Amino acid sequence: MAQRRQRWGSLQSVSCIGSYLPRRCGIATFTADLAEALGAAAPDVQTQAVAMNDRPEGYRYGPRVWFEINEQRPAEYRLAADFLNTANTDVVLLQHEFGIFGGEAGAHVLDFIDRLRMPVVATLHTVLRDPEPHYRRVAEGLFERCDKLVVMAERARDFLTGLYGVPESKVRLIHHGIPDVPFVDPNFYKDKFGVEGKKVILTFGLLGPSKGLENMIDALPAVVEKHPDVVYMILGATHPGVIAHAGEEYRHGLQRRAKELGVDKHIRWFNRFVELDELVEFLGCADVYVTPYENEAQITSGTLAYALGTGKATVSTPYWYAQEMLADDRGVLVPFKDRDAMSAAINGLFDEEVRRHAIRKNAYQYMRNMRWEQVAGQYLDLCSEVREQQSRAPRPVMSRGPARPLFTEMRELSEIKLDHLRVMTDGTGVLAHAACNVPDRVSGYTTDDNAAALRTVLLSNEHQDAVLGDELQQQASRYLAFLHHAFDPGTGRFRSQMGYDRNWHEGLGSEDTHGRALWALGATVARSLSGGHVTLATHLFHQALPACESFVHTHGIAYALIGIHAYLKRFSGDSHARRVREQLAQRLFDRFHKNGDPSWPWPNDEITYDAARLPHALLLAGRWMFNNAMIQQAITSLDWLHHKQEGEGGRFAPIGSQGWLKRSGEKARFNQLPDEAAATIDAALEAARVTGEERWLERAQRCIDWFLGDNDLGQMLYDPATGGCCDKLLPHGVDSNQSARATCAWLLSLLSMYDHAIATRQDAEGAQPAKQDLAPCITDAGKQPARPPAPAEPTAATDD
């Protein structure tokens, strides 16, 4: 299991699209067999199916089918795409046959693919050499939209590259899967069907005129004449499409023909659709397998693959797939509609037992690498490959409905919604995670999230009316109480994880947790209007500060430095805090200096979470300690980081958590986190204050725009309906869960931008700003917002 997990990396879920059992057609069998094989090969990869229905009532599907599409209703294709996007499916495996999709030439499937955000791999069950124009348009549209195309024959690959101009790199040959069955003597199974001592010919599959069974029946008299003990077994129900138009007339016509030729006693009809176990027994008892199809334009055949996989000596007409599979003495090809050649080939195999068994062995050995277990592994490898490719270069979502307007001017956003933060908060504190926008109690609480929530309401408190101010004070009390409870005086450290039952899950949190808690305490000391809150926060800050002196991890050091800076905004004469700041700043600066070089000016060998916090903390320390070397190092590193996080068109494209960025490595494109945008905004605004350069403000604005849809996928992470923020930007869209951390990241980002604008306006006018056109208002249902005066210390807003 561990090897499988390592082999397929972070692949979590795959959805197979196609017709599905118990619907009776070859694609349905293939889709079901593939889904089951994928599930068996990788039990830890969720494998589900979306079934195409050819009738309104659908079918009684098994548990693996989790969505159904009426093939003639375009709206259901859109719903299915939205369902898969919402379910965060990693890869879609589409089984393509023109006839199972609605619209002209099955064109509805194109709209379906356009709405999908994840990679799409299409298995082509039909590739037409000379298609009619409308079929060519659909085929070319499909080939363009899919990330990879799977074919089951070399000729199909040649058609795609030669006739359709598909790049070779886009086409993958994965053979039709077969069940893993032993190589047995046909006599072992014959008594089950009452044909012991007989020579058995078998054809199986859904019956229809294109199968050419009349040609085999025409050839049978010459076989019976030479081998009177022969029995021809015809296994399979009539194709539902044939029944719908002509009932059982095709089968009845074959039976009349057999009677006229005097061979009806030598034919056994099994008019049913059989399960795999019974099919294997039917195949097992056959001495010769026959596919007498009338049309060469068949690029794959599941029945032929299954027959060869069970080691059958096969006689077939030369349709494309048979030409390839029966080469090198793995079977016998005869011309189309040539009964004499058909009968001669079958008689030859019965007459030459040694040759027949050699052909059987050749076929069986050739097919061993096509067992479903191997085929599933190849599909999973391909799914992992396209998912990794999308993480580096996401597929465009061609149609997602009307685009939401992007936020480009601060004054366009009139409110800051704290609704979701309130929903996530209970009497204990803020819950860590959400299932979509519903609090997830199972996840419990974290000190890190309560620290972020505390900073959020402190900053928000400066943009509220009196009623909302009281509510925010109550929220601040809950978050501060959580930090108070999280602190362990015995260790001098903060604990991190608390269950919903209010029991702590560990005794000692990380340096990161401690640093974030200290940051929130420093912000409380600097900002709170409650004397009690300031007193408690100051007391906790003094208790927690000594532990920071032994910190070695750069992020914990950075968080602590930012917190100390906030604390010193109120108590600038605290000598102990100043000494710790100097000690930690020097330690962080030394890490930048010793580990970095001009091509990698970074304190670690990997850029990970909250990256901009490291130069931000160094910049704050350098600015207030009057250390130009620290300032220069911070600006250089922050500018270098900006270029690493710059996407197409100058948009913000943070380093993704799905691999991060290692020294001399490649940047992970996804999963992009809101924390990265928030950290970059604070760092950029501080750089703007230090340097006076407009470019830093532009960079901060791009981070705000990232939340609002100007990102690699054009997807909004901020949800204006709830006031929450989605957890991350995935390769195929946003993670719809709105956690406390992501929501606080959005709110703090926006508040920092507004506070900077207010401070800038105040500096320009030399007076208190009129906030009607700049400051946001915090709204609550049914309440009219008011706008208070500007904060007394405007520069403190963006320093924490």
Q: In three state form, how does the secondary structure of 268-304 look?
A: EEECCCCCHHHHHHHHHHCCEEEECCCCCCCCCCHHH
Cα distance between residue 799 and residue 795, in whole Å: 7
Q: Which two tokens stand for residue 454?
A: 């505390």
The H or E element spanning position 446 is strand 438-446
Instruction: Kindly compute the dihedral angle of the four CA atoms of residues 697, 699, 701, 706, in this order, to the nearest 10 degrees.
Output: -170
C-beta of residue 548 within 8 angstroms of C-beta of residue 515: yes
Residue 798 backbone dihedrals phi, psi, to 5 degrees: -95, 0
Structure tokens at 230: 């022969």
Report the residue count for the chain: 800
- How many other C-beta atoms lie within 10 A of the C-beta of residue 792? 7
Residue 596 · residue 641 · CB < 8 Å: no
Q: How far apart are CA 558 and CA 567, in angstroms?
A: 14
300 φψ region: left (φ > 0), alpha (ψ -120 to 50), beta (else): beta
Bridge partners for 314 per DSSP: 289
Q: What is the per-residue pLDDT across 278-307, written as a single tens digit (0 to 9) for each? A: 999 999 999 999 999 999 999 999 999 999
Burial class (CB in 10 A: 0-12, 13-18, 19+), 762: middle
Bridge partner list, 439: 434
Q: How many CB atoms lie within 10 A of CB 725?
A: 27
**For residues 416-441, b (16+ Cβ closer than 10 Å) or e, as one string?**
bbbbbbebbbeebbbbbbbeebebbe
Looking at residue 394, its pLDDT comes to: 66
Strands (DSSP E) found in 154-225: 171-173, 199-204
Q: How would you label 580-618 residue by residue, b for 16+ Cβ within 10 Å and e otherwise?
A: bbeebbebbbebbeeebeeeebbbbeebeebbbbbbbbb
Q: Residue 210 has what pLDDT?
A: 85
- What integer pLDDT is reported at residue 395 of this predicted model? 58
Per-10-residue mean pLDDT of the chain, 800 residues long, equals 58 96 93 97 95 93 94 93 86 97 97 93 97 96 97 97 97 97 92 94 91 95 97 92 87 95 95 88 95 94 95 97 97 97 97 96 96 97 91 56 37 70 97 96 97 96 64 93 97 97 92 98 95 94 97 98 96 92 97 96 97 98 95 97 93 94 92 97 96 94 94 92 94 90 96 82 57 36 33 35
Contact 592, 618 (CB under 8 A): yes
* Partners of 646 in beta bridges: 652
Answer whether 138's CB lies under 8 Å from 100's CB: no
Q: Which two tokens stand for residue 735?
A: 């993670």
> In 3D, which of 638, 634, 626 has the Cα closest to residue 593?
634
Q: How far apart are CA 446 and CA 304, in angstroms?
A: 59
Cβ-based neighbour number of residue 566 at 10 Å: 26
Tokens of 291: 């596919």
Contact assessment for residue 37 and residue 375, using Cβ atoms and an 8 Å cutoff: yes
DSSP label of 535: H
Q: Dihedral angle at the C-alpha atoms of 644, 650, 652, 653, nearest 10 degrees?
A: -50
Q: Which residues contact 578 (CB under 8 A, 6 or more apart)?
A: 568
